[in-house]
């Protein structure tokens, strides 16, 4: 089983030194959330993850969730861990105190999400979807519905799901077949089948609150006719108690490559009672509140899995001996493999990417809070634009790079990495879903280009690039060495943006084939921006903690020399166009 130590030093460094968003610091509701409080919470979070949840990863992989006599059973140890998890209030960390939550900002909860992703992604998914459903209801449900359902969800006694995918439609939700027939009492009868439903059924909670998109019988075809419905596993009585079983049943639990402890279900809705959320035919917009949150969290899943893969690769490289290096330190036998240049390069690849990602996530968490809570509408809108821009980047780049990192981790472990002994191959398998679910990474890239770039006429990306230039205009001569490199890649990104906009008028296949490259170019530049922010602090405070800050400076140098140049490669590949691709004969 892999070992894990929560990277508290790095997390607390970010919280102390890079909590620098002026608009975020104007949010009065978080005035009392200081470094001491963050430290106390994250230290306790580290304990429960390292001691209680980490062993669940292997337990869930060896004893997957299964359907027995109509009941979905979670792996051994899950029930006990879940009860402790909700007893200690972890599910309510970022929820509104009005409904029993602790009201912590995403600048803290995002770190906790990373820890959970590192220790046991399968276990995490049972509560993650609950928080997603909570957020959707919080923003779109009536006060009566919120008062009825949210307290139990925040407490963790009830869980939640997101039911979109059907056998006939995944990304193209306009094709969905699930129907909703309105009743005389204002409720709806929901009929249809949903597949690939994460945490769709299980034995951890008393009730499961399904958020289901369906088409009312009098609604138009396509996405314009989609509505959102709350469909509980058990009908909730007027007094809030759990009543009779609703018309929702589990057809099967998927047998998967990874995240085997998570129950991924086929759900059948047979005239199940459902309650309309918000306005009819506006369901897709409402569901996107949940989907966008989930997409950021999926990116954090990739970050968390990358972190534990790196930690175990580093430890293994320090104890495994193979071969001699050019500057061998061994007088008899082999050197530790960490002395080999190629191994060191792989480890620094991991480290420089992970630390840049964590910093970018922290920046995004501040922007998210501003977009939700700032009193100035103009400030909220700008932050919302940045969150919108970065959501597909974080979801896609972080999960793609996690595939690279977990693959490299297996390579460092050699034959042992390919076997189950070390648990490294499970990290690769568990992560493999992250580039797929919540909208595949290719869909994210298409969304970035078509919705965030072209439809906004480049406005969001233009503001983003200007913001980076302003914030990285350092007076420190040592930082300027790095900002000069960043500016080179900002120019590339700017040219790439213009190319996309121009090509969209001429050949949309060129744009489609370039979308993934554009996302990655934007992603690598964004990570470089995060590293500049880290460097500014590192050079300024160098004498206060030399070992920590020298490590940061050297890691940043590696990123700028070895990783950032990938951005130019993606640009050059993209502008070669799509002619060969589209004319190629596969017959």
Please identify every residue annotated as catalytic: 438
* Cα torsion angle, 464, 465, 470, 476, sign: positive
Helix (H, G, I), strand (E, B) or coil at 67: strand
Radius of gyration over every alpha carbon of the chain, rounded to an integer in angstroms: 24
Decide: 555 and 480 in contact? Cβ < 8 Å: no
Antiparallel, parallel or unpaired: β 188-198 and 234-236: unpaired
Decide: 152 and 205 in contact? Cβ < 8 Å: no
Residue 49 CB neighbours (<10 A): 24
Chain centroid to CA 459? 25
Which residues partner with 192 through β-bridges? 269
Helix (H, G, I), strand (E, B) or coil at 506: coil
Tell me which residue of 104, 103, 157, 147 sits closest to 127, measured CA to CA: 157
Tell me which residue of 292, 259, 305 sits closest to 364, measured CA to CA: 292
* Cα torsion angle, 539, 545, 546, 547, sign: negative
Instruction: Write the CB contacts of 449 (distance below 8 Å, at least 6 apart in sequence).
Output: 500, 511, 514, 515, 518, 519
DSSP state of 169: B
The pair of three-digit structure tokens given for residue 173, joined into one six-digit string:
């939700």
Dihedral pair phi/psi, residue 33, rounded to 5°: -85, 85
């Amino acid at each position: 089983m892999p070992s894990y130590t929560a990277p508290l030093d790095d997390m607390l460094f970010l919280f102390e030194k890079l909590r620098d968003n002026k608009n975020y610091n104007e949010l009065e509701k978080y005035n009392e959330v200081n470094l001491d409080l963050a430290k106390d919470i994250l230290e306790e979070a580290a304990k429960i993850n390292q001691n209680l949840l980490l062993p669940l990863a292997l337990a869930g992989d060896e004893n997957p969730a299964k359907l027995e006599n109509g009941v979905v059973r979670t792996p051994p140890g899950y029930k006990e861990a879940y009860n402790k998890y909700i007893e200690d209030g972890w599910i309510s960390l970022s929820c509104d105190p009005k409904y029993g939550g602790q009201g912590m900002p995403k600048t803290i909860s995002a770190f906790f999400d990373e820890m959970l992703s590192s220790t046991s992604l399968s276990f995490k998914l049972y509560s993650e979807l609950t928080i997603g459903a909570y957020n959707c209801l919080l923003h779109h449900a009536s006060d009566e519905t919120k008062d009825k359902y949210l307290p139990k969800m925040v407490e963790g006694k009830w869980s939640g799901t997101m039911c979109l995918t059907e056998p006939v439609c995944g990304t193209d939700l306009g094709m969905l077949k699930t129907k909703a027939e309105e009743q005389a009492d204002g409720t709806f009868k929901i009929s249809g089948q949903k597949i690939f439903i994460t945490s769709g059924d299980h034995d951890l909670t008393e009730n499961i609150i399904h958020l289901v998109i369906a088409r009312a019988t009098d609604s138009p075809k396509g996405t314009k006719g989609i509505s959102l419905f709350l469909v509980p596993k058990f009908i909730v009585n007027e007094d809030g108690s759990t009543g009779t079983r609703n018309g929702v049943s589990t057809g099967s639990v998927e047998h998967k490559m990874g995240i085997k402890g998570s129950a991924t279900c086929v759900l059948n809705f047979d005239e199940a009672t459902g309650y309309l959320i918000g306005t009819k035919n506006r369901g897709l917009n409402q569901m996107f509140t949940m989907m966008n949150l989930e997409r950021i969290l999926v990116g954090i899943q990739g970050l968390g899995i990358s972190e534990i893969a790196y930690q175990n690769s580093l430890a293994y490289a320090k104890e495994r001996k193979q071969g001699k290096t050019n500057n061998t330190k061994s007088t008899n036998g082999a050197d530790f493999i960490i002395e080999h240049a190629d191994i060191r390069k792989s480890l620094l690849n991991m480290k420089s990417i992970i630390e840049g990602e964590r910093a970018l996530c922290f920046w995004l968490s501040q922007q998210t809070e501003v977009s939700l809570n700032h009193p100035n509408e103009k400030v909220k809108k700008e932050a919302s634009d940045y969150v919108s821009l970065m959501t597909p980047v974080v979801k896609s780049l972080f999960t793609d790079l996690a595939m690279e990192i977990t693959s490299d981790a297996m390579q460092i472990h050699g034959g042992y990495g390919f076997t189950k002994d070390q648990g490294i191959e499970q990290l690769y398998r568990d992560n493999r879903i992250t580039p797929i679910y919540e909208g595949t990474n290719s869909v994210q890239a298409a969304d970035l280009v078509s919705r965030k770039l072209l439809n906004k006429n480049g406005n969001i990306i233009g503001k983003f690039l200007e913001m980076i230039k302003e914030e990285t205009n350092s007076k420190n001569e040592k930082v300027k060495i790095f900002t000069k490199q960043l500016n080179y890649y900002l120019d590339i990104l700017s040219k790439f943006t213009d190319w996309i906009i121009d090509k969209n008028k001429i050949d949309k296949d060129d744009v489609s084939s370039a979308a993934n490259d554009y996302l990655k170019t934007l992603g690598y530049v964004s990570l470089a921006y995060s590293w500049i922010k880290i460097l500014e602090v590192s050079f300024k405070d160098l004498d206060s903690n030399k070992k920590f800050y020298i490590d940061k400076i050297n890691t940043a140098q590696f990123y700028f020399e070895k990783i950032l140049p990938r951005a130019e490669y993606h640009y050059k590949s993209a502008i070669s166009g799509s002619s060969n691709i589209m004319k190629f004969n596969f017959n």
